[in-house]
Structure 1
């Protein structure tokens, strides 16, 4: 390998460390690919991270334990003796990041491969014999509550209990199907027959699992897990991407990729075609159909790869590729014929990633914009940009003369920082949107410099605990300016850091052209216009709705950066500021009187109670009694949607004209609208918006209302 001459200016401070990497001779043999990646990552963490931890033995031990958990999350592979024998290597990681031989990784790698191979022989033996479901015994499924098996006998027993539990689950399901069935072939099955069927189904599940471990988790995959155990110890959002994942990340941000345009699904260990995108390479080629099974994938004229047992994401990695290249699929059609289909890859646009809008008709005419992420195509100047797209949706809604707009950022994990600054400028005049501070530097204010406001009417932003990063910047800015009412979870995710993606190939290039991957590195922290960070605390909603999506926020990660604050930036409140207090009171009254929200709160309490259960009975009668209680407790919540009034939400004519007669797009749009007609959260957001519209009217008009 050789050092490239060009070093990006943003990482110019790393040049000394990176150059020093070429002088690793005192450790012995010349560095290989893994050593080079480790040393680059070590230098970048130390010199480029926003707030680097000291990389020492304590850091090493934490990364070591994370790596073991990533390899054996259920503690069913490693023995306690393995952990004890490997423990002396737990303090080597800091040395490996400076060029020492990868003894920790390589020794752990040897052990895990051996233990996985051993476990692969255990589960078929256990599942070959019937289980005794009359015995009184329990299993603990939470790995944090158990230790690694003391020896091989203890490991066997751990596997036996887990497999027995999985079989009992499956057997119970099969018995319920039998008892409800009207077909003689099903309702006449005995418990013994169903027990055999249940064990067979569980075995098939684990067959596929171990097939994946054997064929699709190689040394490179385990090395990626190793590096990510290290980077996530620095902070939760610094990640190492091997080449394939780097490409996927960039595709996700751009909202497009180069492939064949076929939706895939996994079914019984096979990769099936779910749908064909109209106008895509597959659609143009014409031979690939829905429900076809893709058996093999070949790159051009190279040897085809059998993808039986592949998870969908791994199959996708093989099928996608560079624009203009050829992929050959060996396909088994529904009629049983096998053929090879040659398709030339082209650009595929993921429309589901992009902003989408509709109109909600009711007491007031309300515009609704759904934004799944803050996308931006960094590689194409003319590519999709979410700020531009939201501006177009706002323009369409204004043409429809809506009286207020709801911007839905639920489950929006963020994305491009420049896009969120530009988007905020659609709703407020010139002023600071967010403050960004780099390591050791003063905060830089990112401003909206456009004095014009595209939309000045009532605005609400929906969030939940999954709303993060750029979503939090926008919500925080609108809240600080008193420009919008924030509706949703008690607080958002709490990711207040900025990452940049750096290709390791910009520092070293392999002679064989093999990519080293990339590092997504935390380099900055952002702060609200009012000076407070969104890190850890997130954004507190003005209107708090009970949220079932709990236990996912940044504050749950012990390696997350801390909350702090800096001086407030100078800005002026919105000319017609939102008065949150009356909106809160009205919403609280509605929710207190709402049968749907009452049921929802009870459901959340029940789920939390059930989640606290640590051990589960392996006695069938006891298990069924527990399940009966839980099922009865949860069944009454099935009626929540029935108690939510149906929203009249429709697509605009301009959008329907664009969809035209494309049956696939028509169906997707119909499903998208249907999912929102009985959305308890959107329903309350509409109620809040109705109040806000009245609040925003001049006093004389308000009285007339």
Structure 2
């Protein structure tokens, strides 16, 4: 079989360098193979549920690798994929150091296909496109093996792909509100030459970004293979190149002015927010979140820069253009909508208060704290993390004589488990908080050993489908103790813990013939599972709220259960003794909330929008006609859908006003930019019908507990 593979590649790529069979002494193992061996050994030794690399797993890894290289299935041809998949039988031996043919041959083939696509797309984009209803394209193909079978099919697939991109650019030019009007057709088509040119620029930049990757082409392709290998263990085990790690560390520096966002270049070329730095301008705005995709940047007084096709280095260069000007950052949210946020750079200080509290002042005085992430001050042992900051804000709120507290952890993707545990301890007197199970050990209980609480009054915790990991541990613990009413929608469903390990021999058993590689990367490895104090797990299932609210984003969330290779949900048999508080009046609270929601215009709109989700959100298996009318109609439907969402946010609540604490008011008098951000946050809270309903729920809780 290997002979037939070699014949395919040698016929296709005459210049390809074949690694000959030789004695694999230490000095003869190529650096990238050394890194593959190190990655394999680190995962084998440290992963919670390691897998045996056999032919079946090798095939899954190779399919994922192909998908990372060619997510739209336009570069490779069907015979390419068939030949690559033949390596499923020999890949385990290659990872064990016996040979090294797979990665060099795929890398060379991929380079040839990129150059071919660059030349062909340039030629196809020289001629005007005609858009006919009879011509269709299928995107996000679910069948991993659906590639062009012949050269003729290959050209046709590229022609359709470029037409699709051109149509996308055409409709993006115009006001989406009126784009479906009949007289808009000719106006839109008049821009076809310019948009073809733009698509050519995007395509060339995309290919150039791969071929001239800062890490080097071969190293970049190897990193994708390592990511595919890691992802076969579970969704949260990730390979990080040294450059990725260096960029992450640089983003944590507090020595320079920053917007407080850490960027990542996704496999499809999108520039995504990978992290929002606690205390930074983006964090304070509460409008930029992990997973948002940057689409445009505009410095004050300058022209807007479209980021289509831009790589991460270009984007970071633009972000460094000025230290003092205001920047408009346009992002595409997880629901597909666009949002523009204006920010100024700030020096991020370790001693800065990065959690802010507010007072909802109506018939009851309720404290409100939003916590978008469980940070721990960047692993600085001399600093305090989010639990300490939340505690400080609660003390401020208690001085304001609040009657109840709302803790908002929606869109909180987790972070430091220690901080999550410490935060739970703020609200619980003492006792077990969760169970952690590391590979090869007995489950152990994580406890709150500090007797007493900082806040013991009525508590509501807001969650949604993006509340994950440490957020879920916090919500589950407070729910199991009957300490808080959990409000919102089911959480993400991630109950695993990870650590970042360097790929060196200190984290593996001795590796024969492999010497330490100082340029090797890192692996974020899943090393544990987390359980509730009841012994059950939120893995895959998430935490079910006590009071369910219709979720405007329910059709957009990617939950843990949707990911391939996600670890299963199970339970631990260990008996855990804890003393729950008296049961909360959940049934009464749920019924009262349901009655209000049934007559609330905003929630009625949310339910309707969730029921009439437009087809464009279901494109995974949809065949799309390549003609202008369809794209105009789709753009108009998208506009109307998002416009409906914005309208439900226009009405501000009349049942309370949102105020700062007295201590914050004093600080804001001396900070004009901070006041600008604060005013925006006040308005955002004032217009949130989710926070409004949470306010009513905690009001019901206070009354029910008083009347017991």
- Tell me the TM-score range normalised by the shorter chain: 0.7 to 0.9
Matched, 1:651 2:660: yes
Distance 1:557 1:157, change over 3 A: same
Gaps of 5+ in 2: 1-21, 264-268, 272-279, 282-297, 327-344
Distance 1:351 1:67, change over 3 A: farther
1:536-573 Cα shifts (integer Å, max 9, x gaps): 11111111122224441111113011111113411111
Please give the secondary structure, in 2, of the residue aligned with 1:521: strand
Whether the aligned pair in 1 keeps the contact of 2:437 and 2:529 (CA below 8 Å) is: yes
- 1:398 CA displacement: 0.9
- 1:312 CA displacement: 4.2
Matched, 1:197 2:201: no
Other-structure match for 2:37: 39
Other-structure match for 1:150: 149
Using the TM superposition, name which of 41-50 and 209-218 deviates more: 209-218
Instruction: Map 1:458-469 onto structure 2 (within 5 A).
Output: 458-469=458-469
Distance 1:258 1:119, change over 3 A: farther
- 1:511 CA displacement: 9.9
**Whole-Å Cα distance in 1 between the matches of residues 549 and 250 of structure 2?**
34
- 1:602 CA displacement: 1.4
- 1:644 CA displacement: 5.7
TM-score, with structure 1 as normaliser = 0.79
* Partner of residue 528 from structure 1, selected from 522, 526, 532: 532
Other-structure match for 1:540: 544
* Partner of residue 50 from structure 1, selected from 45, 48, 51: 48
**Whole-Å Cα distance in 1 between the matches of residues 516 and 47 of structure 2?**
30
Distance 1:262 1:597, change over 3 A: closer
Which of the pair has the greater relative contact order for Cα pairs under 8 Å at 6+ separation?
2
Whether the aligned pair in 2 keeps the contact of 1:354 and 1:372 (CA below 8 Å) is: no
How many residues of Structure 1 are paired with residues of Structure 2 in the alignment? 618
Matched, 1:519 2:538: no
1:75-117 Cα shifts (integer Å, max 9, x gaps): 0100111111212113333223322343222211111111111
Whether the aligned pair in 1 keeps the contact of 2:70 and 2:76 (CA below 8 Å) is: yes
Other-structure match for 1:476: 476
Distance 1:40 1:401, change over 3 A: same
Instruction: Map 1:189-338 onto structure 2 (within 5 A).
Output: 193-216=190-213, 218-249=217-248, 257-261=254-258, 310-312=310-312, 316=316
Other-structure match for 2:603: 597
Using the TM superposition, name which of 532-541 and 256-265 deviates more: 256-265
Using the TM superposition, name which of 210-219 and 105-114 deviates more: 210-219
* Partner of residue 675 from structure 1, selected from 670, 684, 687: 684
Other-structure match for 1:554: 560
- 1:317 CA displacement: 9.4
Whether the aligned pair in 2 keeps the contact of 1:60 and 1:93 (CA below 8 Å) is: yes
- 1:676 CA displacement: 2.3
Matched, 1:583 2:589: yes
* Partner of residue 73 from structure 1, selected from 71, 74, 86: 71
1:375-411 Cα shifts (integer Å, max 9, x gaps): 1146422234111111111111111111111111111
Distance 1:167 1:346, change over 3 A: closer
- 1:234 CA displacement: 0.8
**Whole-Å Cα distance in 2 between the matches of residues 265 and 657 of structure 1?**
31
Other-structure match for 1:114: 112
- 1:583 CA displacement: 0.8
Instruction: Map 1:554-633 onto structure 2 (within 5 A).
Output: 554-567=560-573, 568-574=575-581, 576-607=582-613, 609-613=615-619, 614-625=622-633
Distance 1:400 1:92, change over 3 A: farther
Using the TM superposition, name which of 129-138 and 385-394 deviates more: 129-138
Distance 1:178 1:684, change over 3 A: closer
Whether the aligned pair in 1 keeps the contact of 2:38 and 2:504 (CA below 8 Å) is: no
Gaps of 5+ in 1: 1-23, 181-185, 272-276, 279-288, 295-306, 321-328, 335-344, 700-705
- 1:261 CA displacement: 3.0
Distance 1:91 1:315, change over 3 A: farther
Distance 1:537 1:175, change over 3 A: closer
Other-structure match for 1:434: 434
Other-structure match for 1:15: none
Other-structure match for 2:421: 421
Other-structure match for 1:168: 167
Instruction: Map 1:393-404 onto structure 2 (within 5 A).
Output: 393-404=393-404
Whether the aligned pair in 2 keeps the contact of 1:358 and 1:369 (CA below 8 Å) is: yes
* Partner of residue 690 from structure 1, selected from 672, 685, 699: 699
**Whole-Å Cα distance in 1 between the matches of residues 26 and 701 of structure 2?**
70
Distance 1:100 1:357, change over 3 A: farther
- 1:28 CA displacement: 8.1
1:217-253 Cα shifts (integer Å, max 9, x gaps): 622222121111111101111111112322455677x
Please give the secondary structure, in 1, of the residue aligned with 2:212: helix
1:556-596 Cα shifts (integer Å, max 9, x gaps): 1130111111134111112x542211111111111111121
Matched, 1:85 2:92: no
Other-structure match for 1:11: none
